[in-house]
Structures are given as structure tokens and as C-alpha cells.
Amino acid sequence: MKFRAKIVDAACLNHFTRVSNMIAKLAKICTLRISPDKLNFILSDKLASGGVSMWCELEQENFFSEFQMEGISAANNEIYLELTSENLSRALKTAQNARALKIKLTNKHYPCLTVSIELLSVSSSSRIVTHDIPVKVIPRRLWKDLQEPTVPDSDVSIYLPVLKTMKSVVEKMKNISNHLIIEANLNGELNLKIETELVCVTTHFKDLGNPPLASENASQARNPEQMAEVHIDIRKLLQFLAGQQANPTKAVCNIVNNKIVHFDLLHEDVSLQYFIPALS
């Protein structure tokens, strides 16, 4: 198993840093999947994450000037590593004034992802910062749990409002109740609702627009005013929103009535899918 990659472009480096900061906010421990064309940050829907799952994908050639990998075998040319996301974002934080950044899989008494950063220095000599991030190599037999989640057939698909606005609304609602209802219809309307014994608060977002539907049959059957809703844990939604620092290029929300809400975002060229299940 081998992995070596290098970033020399400052913009690519900053972008990669932003991605890792986002992942660090979304998942404490995640899986990094390395394949010849892509890098994925994965959180699978285990009990530990409360059923939340995440799939983040980026094309390696958009970031790395050099990229070499060799998976565990020719037939299975992939590497799955489990790591603490905060370590990666902390390591990349020191790369703000870097001339070059190298990442490689190493074995220093235990497997590590070694991030080596050459800093710009006023003097002639360079300064080098090395971070050894401990990782766990995930064996082949567990890979099946870490595959791209299938996008469910949603009842309603809608474009999200400005995430920052959503976040501030949800933050205030969190103080009132842990239980949030997210509902939307094919008329571009999305509501965030909380209901307690004493008070009900609803925030209405209108004129959001709906993406063109995949299957024509489903759309014709459904009343555009009819809301599809999911009851979710508000903290999971807040964690997702807190992770989005910039407004994405594209943001779609897919709701399967009473089952699951699926967020499909595109930050420039990095795609992020986040699934929050309904409260049982």
C-alpha cells in the first residue's frame, strides 16, 4: 500500500484546508478513502454517529500536482484509512504560508498519514513542519459498509435557502426544543418547525425553487402544495449547518417523508452529501 501526493498551488492548498475544516466540523472520526482518481471523506451510518452519514468527494487532480497511490491489491486498488478529522485540519492550518505540501502514508511504529509542509521563510533556509497523523487501516472486509450511499427516491426535492440564515434560525430554535420538523413542497416552500407544550415556532422560506424532477411519473401524482416532512434531532441539523463556512455553489435538500432528509451540496468542485434520519 502506498500513497504520496503533493500540492504546490496556494489556491488548491487553501481549498483543501477549507474542505478538511468542514469535515472536522461534521465528523469527529471519519474514513478517508483513497482511489486513483478521487479522495472521499466518509462517515457511515453507524449507531455511533446516531444514524447520520456523510459522503464527501473530490477529484484528486483538482488539488494535487502529484498523486501516486497503490491500493491493497491490483483488484482492489483503494486505501481506506480511519482518522481523527481534527488532526488533519490542524495539520493543514500550519500550511497557510507554505511553498509546498506533501502527504504520504507512512509507518512510524504505527501507520500514519504524514503531512510535510515546507514553509516560506525570510532567510535562505527553509523551515519544514511535519505532522504525523495516526491512522487505522481499514481491512478489506469492512469496505462494504463504507460505500457511497444510494440516493433515496425523494418525495420532495428543493433548493436550500442561504445556509447562514438557516443556521441562525436553527441555533435559536435549539434552545427551545431538541426535536425539529423540516418540511418542504414542490412549490418552493420550506418550513422549519418546532413544537413544544408552550409554544410552536415556524420559520417559512418561500420561492426557493425546486430542481427538475428525475422521474416524471412521481411529479404528476403529487400535489405541489403538499408538504413532505421529517422529524429530526435539531443538533444534527445544526452540526451540518455549522460545518458550512461558505455558501455552496449548489445546495439541494431531498426529503423522504418520515424517513430521511438528504442534503446534497456542491462547494466549488467538492461534493458533499449528508443524510439525517428521522427520529424513531
Partner 1 sequence: MKCLVTGGNVKVLGKAVHSLSRIGDELYLEPLEDGLSLRTVNSSRSAYACFLFAPLFFQQYQVATSGQDPLRCKILMKSFLSVFRSLAMLEKTVDKCCISLNGRSSRLVVQLHCKYGVRKTHNLSFQDCESLQAVFDPALCPHVLRAPARVLGEAVLPFPPALAEVTLGIGHGRRVILRSYQEEEADSTVKAMVTEMSIGEEDFQQLQAQEGVAITFCLKELRGLLSFAESANLSLSIHFDAPGRPAIFAIEDSLLNGHFVLATLSEPYPHSQDLRSPELCRPAPQLQAHSTPLLDDFANDDIDSYMIAMETTVGCEGSRALPSLSLPPGLQPPCSPGPHSEEEEDEDEPSTVPGTPPPKKFRSLFFGSILAPAHSPQGPRPVLAEDSEGEG
Which residues form the interface with partner 1 (CB under 8 A)?
84, 87, 90-91, 94, 108-110, 121, 123-134
Q: Smallest gap, in angstroms, from Cβ of residue 127 to partner 1?
A: 5
Q: How far is the CB of 119 from partner 1 (least distance, A)?
A: 8
Contact at 8 Å (CB) between 50 and 233?
Answer: yes
Residues 6+ away with beta carbon under 8 Å from 112: 105, 106, 132, 133, 134, 135
Question: Minimal distance in Å, beta carbon 82 to partner 1?
Answer: 11
Closer residue to partner 1, CB minimum distance, 131 or 193: 131
Neighbouring residues of 202: CB distance < 8 A, sequence distance ≥ 6: 191, 192, 193, 194
Q: Which is nearer to partner 1, 20 or 87 (CB)?
A: 87
Rounded to 5 degrees, what angle do the CA atoms 159, 165, 171 make? 115
Nearer Cβ to partner 1 (4/174): 4
| Largest interatomic CA distance in the chain | 70
Instruction: Pick the closer one to partner 1 by CB: 84 or 239.
Output: 84
Min dist. Cβ of residue 4 to partner 1 (A) = 14
**Which cell is 256 given?**
423522504
Q: Give me 182's grid cell.
A: 423540516
Q: CA 7, CA 12: separation in Å to the nearest integer?
A: 7
Q: Which is nearer to partner 1, 134 or 188 (CB)?
A: 134
Chain-centre distance for alpha carbon 125 = 38
Taking the complex as a whole, the smallest distance from the CB of residue 143 to partner 1 amounts, in Å, to: 22
